[in-house]
Amino acid sequence: MVTFMLVVSTRGESIKLSHLIFKMKKLSLNRKEVEKKIKEFFENLGEATSEEVRKIKKLGMSLNIRLGELRKNFCKKCMAPCIPGVTCEVRIKGKLKNVKCRLCKTTNKWKIK
Ligand SMILES: [Zn+2]
């Protein structure tokens, strides 16, 4: 639809304006698409590698998208996805949830609400 608009409009201001609108739409669309992509990524986290987690985190950070609760799904040191019993061990200690990464031996502590 956008390419059609560009082809139809003749040289001059109209092209510049439509091009600008197209650019703006693309930007806002990207953010939503990235948010969706991040959500989908964390839904299938089990197959992800630490490198992919690092990339997706960087992508979110570049667009100021907060991971929030999602960041509890991977180790904060080596970025490996946390799968209880497989890549990490979970222990409840009082009001803290201790998640020990089996790969780098780091304990991630999360408050239980
Ligand atoms: Zn780790």
pLDDT in tens, 93-103: 999 999 999 99
Query: From ligand 1's centre to the CA of 37, what distance in Å?
Result: 23
Rg of the chain taking only CA atoms, in angstroms = 21
Please give the distance, rounded to the nearest whole angstrom, from the Cα atom of residue 111 to the centre of ligand 1. Answer: 18
Cα 105 to middle of ligand 1, angstroms: 6
Ligand 1 centroid–CA 101 distance in Å is: 5
Q: Where are the domains of the chain?
A: 2-111
DSSP string, 6-35: HHHS-SSHHHHHHHHHHHHHHHHHHHHHHH
- pLDDT tens profile 3-41: 555 544 455 566 677 777 777 676 766 888 889 999 999
Beta bridge pairs of residue 100: 89, 107
Number of other CB atoms surrounding residue 44 within 10 Å: 9
What per-residue confidence (pLDDT) applies to 19?
78
106 CA from centroid of ligand 1 (Å): 6
